[in-house]
Amino acid sequence: MELIVGYPKGSPLVRDYLDGKDQAADFFGRSFSSLEDFRSKATEVDGRFGRAEREAAVQAVLVPPGADETRLEAFVEKGGYMVTTGQQPGLLGGPLYNIYKALTAARLAGVLEERLEKPVIPLFWVSSEDHDWDEARHTEIIGVDNKVHRIELEKLHSEGNPSIHRIEIGSAAQYQIDKFLQLLPDSEFSSDYIKLILESFGPEKTLADSFHLLLQELLGRFGIFFTDAAHPSVKAHSSRMLLEELVRSEELEAILRRTGEGLSSAGYELQVPLLEGGVNLFLEGSAGRERLYRESDGFRLRTSGMHVTLRDVREQHAEDHLVLSPNVLLRPVVESSVFPTLSYVGGPGEIAYFAQLGEYFRAHGVEMPIVYPRCSVTLVEKKIRKILDKFNLPLEFLQKPFHEVASEVAREGVPQEVERAMEGFRESVSQCTEELGQSVNSIDPTLNAGATQVRSQTFSALEELERKILQAIKRENQIGLNQLEKAQLHLYPEGRPAERVQSPFYFLTRYGGAFLEELYNGFEVSL
């Protein structure tokens, strides 16, 4: 299998950041390609994390099967650091890019450990406090039938939007899991991964539980450790910051708006819109997880419309730290306050919203981690490469709608003598109608329009003939075009990069654990 490795480009802001343009770099502070910037970041982290703080951080770390737990001891003893990444739970592990993020973090951590001569731990943060069940409850897979299948759990029937870590999968999920298993390739590796999937999912488990189990089993051997947004140690160590956000929300919103205005002035769009009066916190209660909004004498809950006072929130939080959680802008700040984070590995959307956070981090007494782009991979299997070579097509060509691809391929199949004849005919018609127009103009100038009409009608008839020629070529090459459509489906399903659609279990059941090894070895990091 061929791996074409790069970085996902994303918005103009992300592209400028990846290209090292000053206009974008100013919003990030440090460069992801500079070893000196990583050394500078390490110094800043050391100013906030001593032995006691690192010991506290380790308490929030989950050790997966295959990971070397002694690495955590060395991390504390020698004053180590972390490279973090993360994702909200997704059904059956979500799409391929979740794996890419984790393995990029592992490779970056390895390189930094060599350069800094200190332990550097890759850490995967599972955002189980998120409440977007509709996003989390589905996965997609291109099955052995060469079709995209969407596998999804039932919608929530309860009131509100509880955090994902509170939602049990339920017995009804088994039908969807079985449906997914039937779509996997049959190979010598299939039984092992089917067993893993079945062991990871059960009616009593939450989607967060299952996500943890799957990813830990797959990635532990690469030295990747895990944590969870709802972990008691994470909640305990971030408690003070969450309450500070509550009290200072107006001031902190103004800081975010100031950065947002700077981004707009530089010609960039905000990845995360700022809502007037919105606090970067959620409060979870009987109506689910709700965003807080400032009011004159307290806060309003966005969905239920309930009013709560500062005292109410503090009392609820004192009883249960899980009721209060950060939104997408505050979460990275919390993460860097709990863990000695050198760098965060993110996709294009994450890179874009980190650009909004530099001053916001500093307002909380933390400096933003260096934002490192995750690797993006186009996986070209041998069967797909044969098809591409047959038609001598570049990969980028297949990003077009297939009817355009098929038409371009058909045009390439038009015999040269036909092309020459049609081009000659066009030139002759143009010349003759011009001569005719000049001739009739002396009789009656209005007749010139008739000559032009003759030319237009002739060209229309010629275009219709050309269309029929292309259709005939397509019919003759239908088998080849079907193959090409199959290749497009595997590379750009429904016009999207496969890494955002395809389940990693398609490749795992096809190639076994060697698939992950190949990815890991293919992700090069140079500093």
Question: How far is 262 from 255, CA to CA, in rounded Å?
Answer: 11
- One domain, residues 130 and 87: yes
Q: Could you tell me if 290 and 282 are in contact, meaning their C-beta atoms sit under 8 angstroms apart?
A: yes
Q: Is 517 helix (H, G, I), strand (E, B) or coil?
A: helix
What is the residue type of 255?
I
Same domain? For 80 and 188 the reply is yes
Q: Assess whether pLDDT exceeds 90 at residue 359.
A: yes
| Rounded distance between C-alpha atoms, residue 76 and residue 10, angstroms | 37
pLDDT for the residue numbered 421: 65
Question: Is 473 found in the same domain as 392?
Answer: yes
Q: Average of pLDDT values for 51-60?
A: 97
Q: Is residue 295 in a domain? A: no
Same domain as 35, residue 73: yes
3-class SS at 443?
A: coil
pLDDT at site 82: 98
Both 370 and 250 in one domain: the answer is yes
Q: Is 516 domain-assigned? A: yes
Looking at residue 292, its pLDDT comes to 97
**Any long-range contacts for 44-52 (C-beta under 8 Å, 24+ apart)?**
44/367, 45/81, 45/340, 45/341, 45/342, 46/79, 46/340, 48/340, 48/365, 48/366, 49/79, 49/340, 51/76, 51/79
pLDDT recorded at residue 357: 98
Choose between 436 and 67: higher pLDDT: 67
Confidence of residue 161 (pLDDT cuts 50, 70, 90): confident
Q: What is the CATH number of the domain that holds 170?
A: 3.40.50.620
Q: Give the model's pLDDT for residue 472.
A: 63
Q: How confident is the model at residue 58 (pLDDT cuts 50, 70, 90)?
A: very high
Are residues 184 and 55 located together in one domain of the fold? yes
Indicate the pLDDT class of residue 412, thresholds 50, 70 and 90: low
Instruction: Read off the pTM.
Output: 0.89
Q: Does residue 277 sit within a domain?
A: no
For the segment 175-188, the average pLDDT, to the nearest whole number, is 94
Residue 98 lies in a domain: yes
Whether residue 316 lies inside any domain: the answer is no
Domain containing residue 477: 381-497
Query: What does pLDDT average to over the chain?
Result: 90
Greatest C-alpha distance within the chain = 102
Same domain, 66 and 204: yes
Whether 404 is in a domain gets the answer yes
pLDDT of residue 428: 74
The whole-number average pLDDT for the span 135-141 is 93
Residue 240 in tokens = 């003070």
Same domain for 249 and 219: yes
The predicted model gives 356-383 an average pLDDT of 96
- State whether 480 and 526 are in the same domain: no
| Domain shared by 490 and 509, yes or no | no
How high is the pLDDT of residue 375?
97
Q: Is the pLDDT of residue 414 over 60?
A: no
Structural domains of the chain, count: 2
Q: Which of 251, 263, 226 is nearest to 101 (CA)?
A: 226
User: For residue 526, what pLDDT is reported?
Assistant: 85
**pLDDT score of 220 more than 70:** yes
Task: Indicate whether 202 and 232 sit together in one domain.
Answer: yes
Residue 298, domain member (yes or no): no
Q: What is the mean pLDDT of residues 177-196?
A: 95
The pLDDT score that the predictor gives to residue 280 is: 97
Pair (174, 266) in one structural domain: yes
DSSP H helices in 368-447: 382-391, 402-412, 416-441
Instruction: Give a yes or no: residue 305 inside a domain.
Output: no
Mean pLDDT within 149-176: 83
